[in-house]
Structures are given as structure tokens and as C-alpha cells.
Structure 1
Amino acid sequence: MNNDTASRIRESAHDLMAERGYFGFSYANIAESVGIRKASIHHHFPSKVDLVVATLKESRASLVRAVGSLDDNVTDPMRRLKLYVHHLAECVHNNHRPIYIAALLSAELPALPNEIQIEVQQHFCVLVSWVKTTLKEGTSLGTIYLRQSAEIEAQSFVALLHGAMISARAFNSPDLFSSVTGGALTCFRSRV
């Protein structure tokens, strides 16, 4: 498999899903975007489900690398959360990756094939786990204060991030993302 071609196909699929959702793009759209024949896409990804699953796995791997880099390079848990949110804010503001397709596809979840549903859920599991671990670390250091369990706070924070991303898109207001998420970050600094 030519990895460069497969990568370009996944990137095109990612961008098309971010723009149109799962049902809003076809192999014809990708062929036009990448400049190849549809048969070439089928060679790399026999079905649309295969392509979307591969694209979601790559997106999740990118998320794992990004949060791993934060863990390795930033000692303060609150600072890690702020940097992660700041990065998302820049992406929302500039309308580029990682506008998480898993978050966008979650709105379509009941209509998606089971294999894709599993990948979407895995994205949320990975992110919630990282946020929960980060919150627990901050709590143990006394730099983060939680009103509920780390699990509930992590779930709430991830829901807020993705909801803010979708709202910013719906209202065509990237600044909305920063306003909403900034308030959530401030809550972690305040004692009950």
C-alpha cells in the first residue's frame, strides 16, 4: 500500500467529514480532492466504513500523541489543560484540524455503522481518561479543585469542549469557544 496515497485519502476524508458529516461525502468527492480515480481509493480502503474507521483511528492516534507530549513536557496539570484548550481554540478559530471528526460524527451516531460507532466512542474514552488523570494529578498537587468526582468532572469537561466546538461552528463565532471553555477552566481553580 502506498502510504502517501492512503494518507492523502484519509486527510481528504477527514476534511470532508468535518465539513459535511459522514453522509455528505463520497469516494467521488475524495477522488476529485486527491486527484486519483475512485478505483484507487477502493484499492486502499475497500469500503467507506473502512476509510472512516482508518481516519478515526489516525485522528485518535494524533490525539494520543498530542496529550502525551503535554504530559511529557508540561509539569503543571492545569497548564496542560489550558494548553490543550488553547490549541483547540486556535483550531476552531482557524477552522482547521483537529476539529475532531469524532465529536462531529457523534451527532450522527445512531445512523452510523457499528464499526464507526465504536471508533467514535473510543475517541471520547481516550480524551476523558486523559482529562480525568490530569484532574486527579492536579487535585493531589492542590492546584485543581473539583466539585464532583474526577470521572464526572472529566466527562463534563469533554462534553463542554465538544459542545463549545459545535456551538462555535453553529453560530459562526470562534470566540464563543474560548468564552465557554475559559469559564470551565476557571472553575477548576476555585474552591467549593
Structure 2
Amino acid sequence: MTATTEDDILRSARSLLVGGGYNGFSYADVAASVGIRKASIHYYFPTKVDLVSRLVARYREEAAAGFAELTTHHPDPLDQLRAYVGFWSACIADGTNTFCLCALLATQLPVLPEAVVAEVRAYFEMLSTWLRAVLESGSARGDFILDDTAEAEAEKFMAAVHGAMLSARAYGDPRVFDLVTEPLLAGLTARP
């Protein structure tokens, strides 16, 4: 698929958001990055709220497609979680995608416009639902020992993965992500 100007704008905005947060970029920054005029951005996204809301909605859509693919290609629940964590580990290590866009935006909820907040919350609900289903499946198969309900364990797992991203960023060391997530995965598996 050929990238469109809209795709280029969204890609630039995502990079700028992850690098500096919601208030850390402007349309001028996006225009310079993409090589277009600010007026061209306004054609696709009249306001910054429109731009970031669409970006988060697309991010959620891509994540949902990724979870569906993980579920299809990895029928084993532990393999699904390993693949999810492995995706982030690889991205953090190679610098292509060092932080979850929605986790970053969640840290800024008090200052975000309501339309963006709604999209961020929708992402977290979608991720939590997927994790809960994976954990329920693994528990039903006897592969996982859960200390709490699958819903509570999903929230803990999500918080640990996002916290590992934050720690890796804070230390400037991608290995920190694995230091947190490897025991997280090991702690789920049933012991003989």
C-alpha cells in the first residue's frame, strides 16, 4: 500500500507525540517533518484534537488487528503473551517504537481534550479485554495460575508492561524492559 499524505501526517505526529507529548509538537513541526505546508495538514485534520484523536483511533485499530493476528498465529495463550511482550521488547531494543502511544498519553489525561481522552480510554479497554481473554483461556487450559480474577490480572499485566516501558526509557536501557517482563511471564505459568 502506498503511503498517502494523511498517513505521512499521522506517522509524523505519532513520532512527535512519543518524543515530546501532546503539547510538545505543533502543526509547524509536522509540516516540517512531512515537507508540506501547515495548510495541508488543516485540510486533513482541521484541529490538533482531530489529528490526535484520529491517530489514537488508528493506533487502536492497528493494535486490534495485531491482537487478532497473534491469536490466529499463536493458539497457545502463553505464546500470545510472549509474542505481545516480544513485540515491545524488539521495538524498544531497535528504537523503532519505544513507548506505547496510549500509555504516554494516559500520563497526560488531565490536560488532554476530552475527544483524545475518550480514544485513549477506548484503547486501554480494548487491550484489557484482549489480555483478560488470553488469561482466561490460559487459566481454563491449566497453563496459568492466576492469583486474582482474569480481569484483575489483565490490569496488572498491562500496568507491568507499560511500567517496564517507562523504566527502560528512564534508564535509557532497553534491557530493563526484559528484566521486568520475563519474570512477569514466568510467574503466570503453572508449576508442576
Is the TM-score greater than 0.5? yes
Structure 1 range deviating more: 6-15 or 94-103 = 94-103
- Within 5 Å, give how 1:1-192 maps onto structure 2: 4-97=4-97, 99-191=99-191
* Matched-pair identity in %: 39
Distance in 1, matches of 2:144 and 2:62, equals 26
* Alpha-carbon distance, 1:56 to partner: 0.4
CA–CA distance in structure 2, aligned partners of residues 166 and 104 of structure 1: 9
Task: Please tell me whether the aligned partners of residues 28 and 38 of structure 1 are also in contact (alpha carbons under 8 angstroms).
Answer: yes
Q: CA–CA distance in 2 between the matches of 1:87 and 1:36?
A: 32
Q: Which runs of 5+ in 2 are unaligned?
A: none
Cα deviation, residue 50, structure 1: 0.2
Give the drift of 1:98: 7.0
CA distance in 1, matches of 2:153, 2:188: 9
TM-fit CA distance, 1:190? 4.0
* Alignment check: 8 A CA contact 1:132 1:154 kept: yes
Q: Which amino acid aligns with 1:37?
A: R
TM-score by length of 2: 0.96
Which amino acid in structure 2 is aligned with residue 77 of structure 1? P
Which secondary structure state, in structure 1, belongs to the residue aligned with residue 144 of structure 2? coil
Residue 59 of structure 1 contacts residue 100 of structure 1 at CA under 8 Å; is this kept in 2?
Answer: no
- Counterpart secondary structure, 1:146: coil
Instruction: Tell whether the 8 Å contact from 2:142 to 2:190 is kept in structure 1 after alignment.
Output: no
| C-alpha distance in 1 between matches for 2:19 and 2:68 | 28
Q: Give the structure-1-normalised TM-score.
A: 0.96
Q: Return 25-34 or 181-190, whichever deviates more.
A: 181-190
Deviation at 1:97, TM superposition (A): 2.8
Q: What CA distance in whole angstroms lies between the structure 2 residues aligned with 1:165 and 1:121? A: 19
